[in-house]
Structure 1
Amino acid sequence: MTESKFTIILAAGKGTRMKSKLYKVLHKVCGKSMVDHVLTQVEQIHPDDIVTVVGHGAEAVEAAIGDRSQFVVQEDQLGTGHAVLQAEPLLGDKDGVTMIVSGDTPLLTAATFDKLFAYHQDKGAKATILTASAPDPTGYGRIVRGDLGTVQKIVEQKDASTEEAQIHEINTGVYCFDNKALFSALHEVKNDNAQGEYYLTDVIEILKGRGAVIAAYKMADFDESQGVNDRVALASATKVMRKRINEAHMRDGVTIIDPENTYIDVDVKIGSDTIIEPGVHLEGKTVIGEDCMIGSDTVIIDSTIENGVTTRSSTIESSIMRAGSDIGPNSHLRPQSDIGEGVHIGNFCEVKKATIGKNTKIGHLTYVGDATLGEDINVGCGVVFVNYDGVKKWHTNVGDKAFIGSNSNIVAPVDVADHSFIAAGSTVTKDVPFHAMAIARQRQTNKEGFWDRLPLADSKDWN
């Protein structure tokens, strides 16, 4: 019979070494908070209960996690053992295995958690420590094993002998415990140490003293065990996560020209045969289709890019680019832009809260805001959709196959009908009917002999 599984996530610490107004576990790694990374992996092993221990910033942490976990509060920061004990009202009387993991270890994976549980059950242990082989074990608790490979004790750096300090197997701070044995032992933990805190590691000694089997499962990849206590460690964890993400996409058929200089958040999805050039940032819930070319220095945030789209050095926010469209260089889609199939948006254009119909061309130096443009429209250079009167935003509609000449101002609200024309340099304030051409500019007047009136007309500087 499979034992019940529980998980306790420790997320109560403020993280003073981060020197931040943001609570430590809420700092992001590749687009997701550290505690969310941990919780996402925990959810994949389907525990019966998940309990998150919060303290500093409890409301912010609870808001970030929502109903994905139960919560208990550690009012006073009295150590890891004290933190776990706060979960006793929710878990203390249950039979099963409890895993304890810190909310600042974003690189741990569900596969490792599964192996830890399986190893714990296979060894019939009351406690199993997740360990790793550290290239430089300085600062970590060492795992001291006996002749038969059984765990004798965990020795902290400050207490390690010269021989023990040479051990490279370290305690990652992740454990599996028999649930009832855990809470029973926690009541025996003392705080007679320099910090006056109740340490979870003391539970190991208590259970060992009871004659319980103590096991240790050594994970294959030390990088997974990295905890984050300051900004340097945050950058290190982010680099590992970014490498993991990029390699996964490349194995799935995405070409990433320069993985070390490509920044893809953990929830981004990318189709096969898409090419990602250097300096690209793909953020949030972005989805990119197949056969796209995402050019250098493009930034795409929470957007959908359909198949066969090309972007060049542009920024796309909360928008959609449909199949075969292209943008850039140096253009900007602001939120709620819907770029239709085959649409061309050239250089130095900005689109905001606008729908652009199939095969419409917006070449360069144009602003389209609060507008609906139909299909097969040509928008000339320097066109401005004037959508704001200082109080309210207004909407413009442009029909299919319309022609908008360069340097025109379309002052909303107006409707420009199908197959209509706007002459270059016009400022349009009224509706333009079907097949009509709007000319809204003063007639040209030439002043003959004007040069001769200038006071410096005969100066060599003017010739």
Structure 2
Amino acid sequence: MPMTAIILAAGEGTRMKSRHPKVMHKLLDRPLVSWVTRAARNAGADRIIVVVGNGAAEVRAHLASETDVECVEQTERLGTGHATRVAIEAAHVTEGPVVVLNGDLPLIEADTIRAFADSVADGEHACAILTMTPPDPFGYGRVELAADGTVERIVEQKDCTPEQDKNLLECNAGCYAFDGALLAKHIGEVGCDNAQHEYYLPDMVQILREHGHATTITHCDDYVEGLGVNSRVQLAELTELAQQKINRRLMASGVTMLDPKTVWVGPDVTVGRDTELLPMTMLWGKTTIGEGNVIGPNTRLTDVTVGDNNSLEETVGVNVTFDDNITCGPRAYLRGGAHVLSGAHIGTHVELKNTVVGEGSKVPHLSYIGDCQMGAHVNIGGGSITCNYDGVHKSRTTIGDGAFIGSDTMMVAPVNIGAGAITGASSCITKDVPADALAVERSEQFMKEGYASKRLERLRKEA
């Protein structure tokens, strides 16, 4: 039976004090809403419908890369019940389990969403409420259960008696699962007879009960799954919880962290055993780290693939591949699809862009190498640059196996330097260099002996 996830992401989030929608604020490496879409996807949702409203264009633009997500706009923000009805009607949802999740619920797990959907899939219950038991339940609505385990009622905090406040520990996380057919049939019955004149989704619980349908709960074993974000303080608190959860999982799998509090890893990152993550390391996106590496300190990798037995120190990498047995850094910047092959060395203050560095090659220090195909066992002298951009077009440089590029060489692309060739220091190479050749391009050195002392004498007289 198809499962639909409706994610409510239309709210303004005034307590965030931001010009951006609340769901676009990042927890670790991604906006809040993408944590929820990811969990729904991993839970096996056949359809993921995100209700946008405040900042709709920004949310839509972000979600455009998530091709399985449908966006539906709530042009008037009239409450959660209204948002759900807009989604149901616009997306023509008429059957199957429907889970309604908040877009600021980043720590919910896919297994919980799957269990949530399954609780209404057997036809015995028309609705389920996601519940949790936080250490301090104050402020949450409490769920009172009947003797048969069905939901008796939801008691809001302001309505709790002292006894209920003490004994009713099952808290409403604000998310609901429905039998899709019954939701579509009765969502129009939610009214707005309240102080805010809004349509509240929790009213569906009582509406379904009045129609003779049973409701139940799905309990989060870990209460943090039910925690939402309403302020930047809560965003920081949940970021720390996510960090701890991910880092503990990694350490349990064989990853070493000198100080887990100073390592941040996104949820889609994988790290192999015996890899050490040093302080101030950030691993984002689809980054994959192999075994036996030392990553950090002060390293940020986004969508990077790292093989085995590498050392990446003070390195920033975006969309880069490192093979095996590579040393990189400190203070290196690699981007644009750069690929560093096994045994290579990338040194201090080096930038690579859209470049292949061959096996055993070295770019030791103070160089920019862009749009370059470099062979094996090449040595790039300090201060060398591929001049790859003329203001309009990008051009490529090729360097053959075993070439030796002297310090401060400017390679003006397009240009080819053959295997085993040598360029003299401070040369500007504008023509192809044949294999095994020496290329030197310098102006003649001019000397005037005794000039320095005569200049100093003249300056003193003028003073």
TM over 0.5: yes
Deviates more, 1:81-90 or 1:219-228: 81-90
Q: How does 1:84-99 map to 2 (within 5 A)?
A: 84-89=84-89, 94-99=94-99
Q: Aligned partners of 2:67 and 2:388: how far apart in 1? A: 41
1:109 CA displacement: 1.0
1:53 has 2:54 as partner: no
1:75 match? 75
User: Equivalents in 2 of 1:42, 1:356: separation in Å?
Assistant: 40
Amino acid at match of 1:40: R
Name the SS of the counterpart of 2:195 in structure 1.
coil
Contact 2:23–2:103 (8 Å) recurs in 1:
yes
- 2:305 is aligned to 304
Residue 128 of structure 2: aligned partner:
128
Quote the offset at 1:95 in angstroms.
4.7
Give the match for residue 104 of structure 1. 104
Q: Which residue of 1 aligns with 2:327?
A: 326
In the alignment, what sits opposite 2:142? 142
* Paired amino acid for 1:289: G
Contact 1:374 1:401 in 2 (8 A): yes
Return the letter of the residue paired with 1:347.
T
**Maintained 8 Å contact 2:123/2:179:** no
- For residues 428 and 106 of structure 1, the distance between their equivalents in structure 2, rounded to whole angstroms, comes to 54
Amino acid at match of 1:309: N
For 1:411, the equivalent position in structure 2 comes to: 412
Aligned-partner Cα distance in 2 for 1:458–1:97: 90
Structure 1, unmatched stretches of 5+, are none
Following TM superposition, by how much is the alpha carbon of 1:226 offset from its aligned partner in structure 2, in angstroms? 0.8
Structure-to-structure mapping, 1:34-433, within 5 angstroms = 34-63=32-61, 64=63, 66-89=66-89, 94-120=94-120, 124-146=124-146, 150-166=150-166, 167-433=168-434
The answer (yes or no) to whether the contact 1:370–1:395 under 8 Å persists in 2 is yes
1:154, distance to aligned residue in structure 2 (A)? 1.0
TM-score, normalised by the number of residues in structure 2: 0.89
CA RMSD in angstroms, aligned pairs only: 2.8
| Kept after mapping to 2: 8 A contact 1:12/1:56 | yes
Please give the per-residue CA displacement for 1:184-237, whole angstroms capped at 9, x wherever unaligned.
Answer: 443333212111111111222233344433322332111110112222222222
| Count of matched residue positions in the alignment of Structure 1 and Structure 2 | 457
Aligned partner of 1:397: which letter?
T
Moved more, 87-96 or 273-282: 87-96
Question: Aligned AA for 2:411?
Answer: I
The CA distance in 1 between the partners of 2:358 and 2:102, in whole Å, is 50
Deviates more, 1:437-446 or 1:291-300: 437-446
User: What fraction of aligned residue pairs are identical, expressed as a percent?
Assistant: 38
* Shift in CA distance, 351/76, structure 1 to aligned 2, threshold 3 Å: same
Read off the aligned partner of 1:425 and give its amino acid letter: S
* Superposition deviation, residue 262 in structure 1: 0.7
State whether residues 274 and 292 of structure 1, in contact with CA within 8 Å, keep that contact through their aligned partners in structure 2.
yes
Please point out which of 11, 22, 25 is paired with 2:23.
Answer: 25
Aligned partners of 1:49 and 1:392: how far apart in 2?
Answer: 43
CA contact (8 A) 2:129 2:176 kept: yes
Paired position in structure 1 for 2:10: 12
Of 299-308 and 148-157, the range deviating more from structure 2: 148-157
- Deviating above 6 A after TM superposition, structure 1's stretches of 4 or more consecutive aligned residues are 90-93
SS of residue in 2 equivalent to 1:401: coil
Higher mean Cα deviation, 222-231 or 166-175?
166-175
* SS of aligned partner of 1:77: coil
- Letter of the aligned partner of 1:361 in structure 2? K
Distance 2:92 2:300 in 1: 48
Distance 1:261 1:379 in 2: 34
- What amino acid does structure 1 have at the position aligned with 2:68? R
1:236 counterpart letter in structure 2: E
1 CA distance for matches of 2:136 and 2:209? 28
Contact 2:95 2:180 in 1 (8 A): yes
Residues 1:22 and 1:449: Cα distance change in structure 2 (over 3 Å): same
> What do the CA deviations read for 1:137-190 (whole angstroms, capped 9, x no partner)?
232212234566553321222333333333432100122233343344433332
Amino acid at match of 1:233: Q
Q: Partners in 1 of 2:162 and 2:255 — Cα distance?
A: 49
Q: 1:51 to 1:376 in 2, by over 3 A?
A: closer
Per the TM alignment, residue 296 of structure 1 is displaced from its structure 2 partner at its CA by: 0.4
Question: For the Cα contact (< 8 Å) 1:92–1:179, is it kept in 2?
Answer: no
8 Å CA contact 1:415, 1:431 repeated in 2: yes
Q: Please report how far the alpha carbon of residue 445 of structure 1 lies from its aligned counterpart in structure 2 after TM superposition.
A: 4.4
Letter in 1 for 2:254: G
CA distance in 2, matches of 1:442, 1:88: 75
CA separation of 1:67/1:430 partners in 2, compared to 1, >3 Å: closer, same or farther? closer
Q: How far is the alpha carbon of 1:48 from its aligned partner? A: 4.8
Q: Check 1:176–1:384 CA distance in 2 against 1; reply closer, same or farther (3 A cut).
A: closer
Give the distance between the partners of 1:298 and 1:48, measured in 2 at CA.
37
Any gaps of 5 or more consecutive residues in structure 2? none
Alpha carbons of structure 1 residues 415 and 150: separation in structure 2 relative to 1, 3 Å? closer
Give the residue type in structure 2 aligned to 1:43: R
Q: Which segment is superposed worse, 195-204 or 21-30?
A: 21-30
- Per the normalisation by structure 1, the TM-score is 0.89
Q: Secondary structure at the match of 1:406?
A: coil
Moved more, 260-269 or 409-418: 409-418
**Structure 2 contact 5–48 (Cα < 8 Å) conserved:** yes
TM-superposed CA distance for 1:395, in Å, is 2.7
Q: Which amino acid aligns with 1:243?
A: Q
- 1:300 is displaced (CA, Å) by 1.2
C-alpha distance 195-341 of structure 1, shift in aligned 2 (>3 A): same
SS of aligned partner of 1:198: coil
| 1:447 Cα offset (Å) | 3.1
- The amino acid across from 2:415 in the alignment is V
Contact 1:256/1:276 (8 A) holds in 2: yes
Q: CA deviation at 1:327?
A: 0.9
Relative to structure 1, the CA distance from residue 414 to residue 146 in structure 2 (aligned partners, 3 Å threshold; closer, same or farther) is: closer
- Residues 221-269 of structure 1 show CA distances to partners (whole Å, capped at 9, x for unaligned) of 1111011222222222222222222222223332232221111122222
Change (3 A) 1:8 1:387: closer
> What code does the residue aligned with 1:396 have?
T
